[in-house]
Amino acid sequence: MIMKFKNLILYDLKSAPLEKEFIGKLKEFADSVEIVFAEKEYAGGLKPSDIKGADALVTRIFDHYDDSLFEKSSLKYIGAMHTDISHFNTRILKKNGIALTNVPGYATEAVAELTISALLNISRRTLDAMNFVKKGNWGFETFMGRELKGKTLGIIGLGRIGTRVEEIAEGFGMKVVHYTPSKKSDKNFLELNELLKQSDVVSLHCSLNGETEGILNASKLKLMKKGSVLLNSARSELVDLESVYKICKQKRIFAWFEAVEQEEIRGRFNKLDNVYLTPHFGWMTREAQQELRDITLNNIKSYLEGKNNNLIQ
């Protein structure tokens, strides 16, 4: 018979809560399941009183988790329904004996496809053209585009998503190079400066950590070709956003960001017609969401069975 948690807290999004079927499956792993709702992400809404007496927390919310939440808690397990766990202080969790699991790889296809769709939109101005016609206009004169075939795509971070982007891009006839320190022996590896100089498109797919934060700073961004495209489906902290704003304002490059959380910065970017933003929805496909739920439940089951499935060491 499988062990159970005594009290499991589900930290969920109020505007789009998880379905009853998923919650029903959670109840198979705990004597009681309580739901705490967040109004939005990054609001720091979870309080110590919300998890008082709980031995498990399953969180769907990408939030600012203060260390004080975990220093004197009764938690034994946190199941993050994300791949990125940079919003947790893993040192504090280990110190307090709290296990943390994540969900790697569930949105590989979804994010890779979105990245390529953003590139196609920029290269052919698809959204601009559609909105132009919706407003009752007609004519092709202002919509000169560029083809992907023969262009060089530079990928920073050739992990699951970066590799899938590479595969799709090669299908369009693009030449792909990459900067991935762990894969220097690869024939398509370039040092970062050289990649930025050679690429017509630069796509970020690395995780956020001490080494990658600000990996594209002002001096690096200046190396990019005039008229090139910067794609970032990953964390916005990988890039010096102020420097991106300046060079985009000068019309030197095009840029797409998937997750710029700061409202003030979004407002400034939205005034530029060569910057495109989307609302951190890369993982929002039916297939990815089902995979997310399945892996989350399997992580919980594995932990209760004494296994280390997707455990952050």
Is a pLDDT exceeding 90 seen at residue 62? no
CB atoms within 10 A of CB 73: 18
Phi and psi dihedrals of 10, rounded to 5? Answer: -105, 120
Q: What does the pLDDT read at residue 313?
A: 77
Structure tokens at 136: 């009752």
Is a pLDDT exceeding 80 seen at residue 2? no
pLDDT tier for residue 174 given thresholds of 50, 70 and 90 = very high
pLDDT in tens, 186-220: 889 999 999 999 999 999 999 988 899 999 999 99
Is a pLDDT exceeding 80 seen at residue 44? no
Q: What does the pLDDT read at residue 184?
A: 87
- Look up the pTM and report it: 0.91
Respond yes or no: is residue 235 known to be catalytic.
yes
Q: What mean pLDDT do residues 17-27 have?
A: 94
| 100 vs 78: CA distance, rounded Å | 5
Active-site residue identified among 160, 164, 280, 293: 280
3-state secondary structure of 74: coil
Identify which of 52, 69, 66 has the alpha carbon closest to the alpha carbon of residue 9. Answer: 52
Structure tokens at 58: 């399953």
What is 158-215 written as a DSSP string?
Answer: -SHHHHHHHHHHHHTT-EEEEE-GGGTTSTTB--HHHHHHH-SEEEE-PPPSTTTTTS
Q: What does the pLDDT read at residue 1?
A: 61
Q: What mean pLDDT do residues 156-178 have?
A: 97
Respond yes or no: is residue 34 known to be catalytic.
no
Is a pLDDT exceeding 90 seen at residue 252? yes
| 10 vs 261: CA distance, rounded Å | 23
Q: Is the dihedral of CA 284, 286, 288, 294 positive or negative?
A: positive
Q: What mean pLDDT do residues 29-41 have?
A: 92
pLDDT in tens, 255-303: 999 999 899 999 999 999 999 999 999 999 999 999 999 999 999 999 9
Structure tokens at 271: 């005034």
Q: How far is CA 258 from CA 195, 235, 237, 282, 302, in A?
A: 22, 8, 12, 7, 32
Tokens 């927390």 locate to 57
Angle (CA) 113 287 100, round 5°: 100
Active-site residue identified among 235, 258, 291, 293: 235
pLDDT tier for residue 132 given thresholds of 50, 70 and 90 = very high
| 203 vs 213: CA distance, rounded Å | 15
pLDDT tier for residue 229 given thresholds of 50, 70 and 90 = very high
Q: What does the pLDDT read at residue 28?
A: 96
Active-site residue identified among 19, 141, 263, 264: 264
Is a pLDDT exceeding 80 seen at residue 152? yes
Q: How far apart are the first and last CA of the chain?
A: 27
Identify which of 210, 193, 201, 137 has the alpha carbon closest to the alpha carbon of residue 169. Answer: 201
Respond yes or no: is residue 264 known to be catalytic.
yes
Identify which of 122, 154, 151 has the alpha carbon closest to the alpha carbon of residue 223. Answer: 154
DSSP 273: T
When the pLDDT of each residue in the chain is averaged and rounded to a whole number, the result is 95
Considering only 35-49, 149-163, 197-211, 261-275, which range has the smallest mean pLDDT? 35-49
pLDDT in tens, 65-82: 999 999 889 999 999 999
Counting residues of the chain whose pLDDT is more than 70, the rounded percentage is: 100
Q: Which domains does the chain have, with CATH numbers?
A: 5-106+285-304 (3.40.50.720), 108-277 (3.40.50.720)
